[in-house]
Structure 1
């Protein structure tokens, strides 16, 4: 069973930048946004020649990448990243623009749920990191709540966060970039006692701490 993490946050909150300290030799990034990465020299680290980077939001292509990473072909890969889930949802929705029936939203929900549900079935030594944009809803009383932004009410009912053990909320606070590991007004969550409420914006640190926690190490 793979370790599965979600990083959610607004644009500019440091979600992609948090990948900067991962080892390119053991990391595979699926760039569904097709926007590239956000640190100096990333093109030397992640490219086709290194067999660790692909730009696609196509569900079938992503599933094929997942199969390769899960098989003997890419056993060196220990971290798989999808950046972002929203790009997959939006591109699938755009491809179905001319469809007017309910099946359009049923199919969209099914394809995203199918991908996310497969993460836990991947090999034990793999960590899957999904990046997602957030939506903050406010009611008439002023109560607000932040969660993963989805396309269609069907996906809202499914609650994508339920498929992740760890959901980190990326935030930019006074020029500092941090992860919030739990919150009263968001779906951020993490294993009990694993993290402080705010931790460094560094997914390598997060993975190392989760491994220690799982193995009951200091």
Structure 2
């Protein structure tokens, strides 16, 4: 990223949607350096351009099953420093867990129908490019459902709420505002989550998110 200018590779097999996203992102100060309609095109574009972020749809030609997210996992393994934002209509918990297996920093997973404004999407791109984590709540829910639930089931309902908001990248202050409780109460819930998961707490929100998501990813069967 040069002077705040975000370089993006966009993988989307719908030409109409792809062209529209290129125009919208350009108007928001992002540069789409390449577009791809297939997974091999995506891999080639990332290798050539080394973008700040690759935006990836899950289902791409030829089989329209999981080519996109397979390519995202490959990019993650091959090309350090390239953020991955999965942008799809579908939640694929098993593949999401593989994508998160080596850490959640620089990973996003948003559902198309739940992004209400272009500004939300662009903000997510910047957060992922900066090494942050952006996950739709439904993705987190599916990850939690997919795992061996012993430790997750030890959480109280409020601790589970806090965990999901942590996974979305919210700070303690933001969680306190959303749940209408004190920041001190949130700190206690966060500490309880780490204790029950056997994770060491960290002062850095992104490291907290990374640790929690690593645990969730490891427990998805």
Structure with the bigger RCO (C-alpha within 8 Å, sep 6+) is 1
TM-score normalised according to structure 1 size: 0.42
Alignment TM-score, normalising by the size of structure 2: 0.41
**As a proportion of its length, which structure holds more helix?**
2
